[in-house]
Amino acid sequence: MDAVSPEGRVNLNMDGQPSTEADWAVGKSTVEIKNVSKAYGDEWDLDQVITNLDVTVAPGELTVIVGPSGCGKSTLVNLIAGFEQPDTGEVLLDGKIVTGPARDRMVVFQETALIPWQTTYQNVVFGPKLRGDLKGKALKAEAERLLVKVGLGEFVHKYPIQLSGGMQRRAELARALINNPNIMIMDEPFRGLDAMSRGLMQEFFLRLFEENRRTNLFVTSEIDEAIFLADSLVILSNKPASVRKVIKIDLPRPRDYKMLSSPEAYEYKREAMEILHEEAMKNFAADADSGDFAESFRKR
């Protein structure tokens, strides 16, 4: 008998065969960042970006990272993805040290990474075809399922330049999801979209997450976006980044934007903004007028 997932579809493993129940655990992984530090530059002129950072991304949760501009959020993404290695400390995925990039950690970046000379469909199947681990009818069926899922079923033969910004973001989600990663890493993926497109993408992304509860790490500079999405909100300090506070966002799911007007959401925002303002003000510490600036910012 075919193995049927909780979503009600037949699951295929990477050989194109029906998967076992154990395969469904993929996407419920834990990421641990333990006492991690990272700096760039020469020994006599180091730029310390992250210092003694401890973060846990819980399985099946959407953990959101916020922090002042330039505090090291993208560096943290690179460390978890395995693009870079920490100077000290460890990054662990399900207890195993991350030593480099792998398909169990997929990143959706700030800027589009779609291959411009490939169609939407070709972009989505590029990874599995390159590896050769999902082939033929199984690959075609999964790609088409995901493209319909992200609302691009009628745009499979379009090239990236023919897609809107929001459509490109959805194509990149499908391209990441077809690899069935243990964790999705979103590095300010909706940055640059207009306000309406960004709001729609947030709602769309949240629906996808709430359907399968795949472990997600989402980096953003927008506090409303962070509160709307997060199970856990991790607030970083100014550079060099360390964790200032972790706030559990106890808003019910499924969510809609009306919840951001609730007293609970307002209190989360107030608490987070106070910490972020305090950290951001450190950038103005050397300015003779920083005191006046800080006071006006506080009153605002």
From 112, 142, 110, select the one nearest 129 (Cα to Cα): 142
Please say whether the beta carbons of 174 and 122 come within 8 A. Answer: no
**Angle CA(38)–CA(220)–CA(35) in degrees, nearest 5?**
30
- Output the pLDDT for position 191: 85
- The whole-angstrom separation of Cα 8 and Cα 213 is 15
Locate the DSSP E strands across 113-256. 183-187, 215-219, 232-236, 243-248
Residue with tokens 């795949």: 214
3-state SS class at 177: helix
Cis before residue 240, ω within 30 degrees of 0?
yes
Token representation of residue 245 = 């506070």
Domain ranges of the chain: 29-99+211-300
Residue with tokens 């979209």: 193
> Rg of the chain's alpha carbons, rounded to an integer?
20
Distance of CA 85 to the CA centre of its chain: 19
Spell out the per-residue pLDDT of the chain, length 300, in tens: 333 333 333 344 333 333 333 333 456 899 999 999 999 988 778 899 999 999 999 999 999 999 988 888 999 999 999 999 999 999 999 999 999 998 889 898 887 888 999 999 999 998 888 887 777 888 889 899 989 888 888 999 999 999 988 899 889 989 988 888 899 999 998 887 888 888 888 988 898 898 888 999 999 999 999 999 999 999 999 989 999 999 999 999 999 888 999 999 999 999 999 999 888 887 666 454 545 555 555 555
From 228, 238, 283, select the one nearest 258 (Cα to Cα): 228
* Cβ contacts of 260 within 8 Å, gap of 6 or more: 224, 227, 228
* Cβ contacts of 240 within 8 Å, gap of 6 or more: 37, 39, 48, 49, 50, 51, 72
Q: Looking at the domain that runs over 29-99+211-300, which CATH code has it been given? A: 3.40.50.300
- The whole-angstrom separation of Cα 21 and Cα 59 is 17
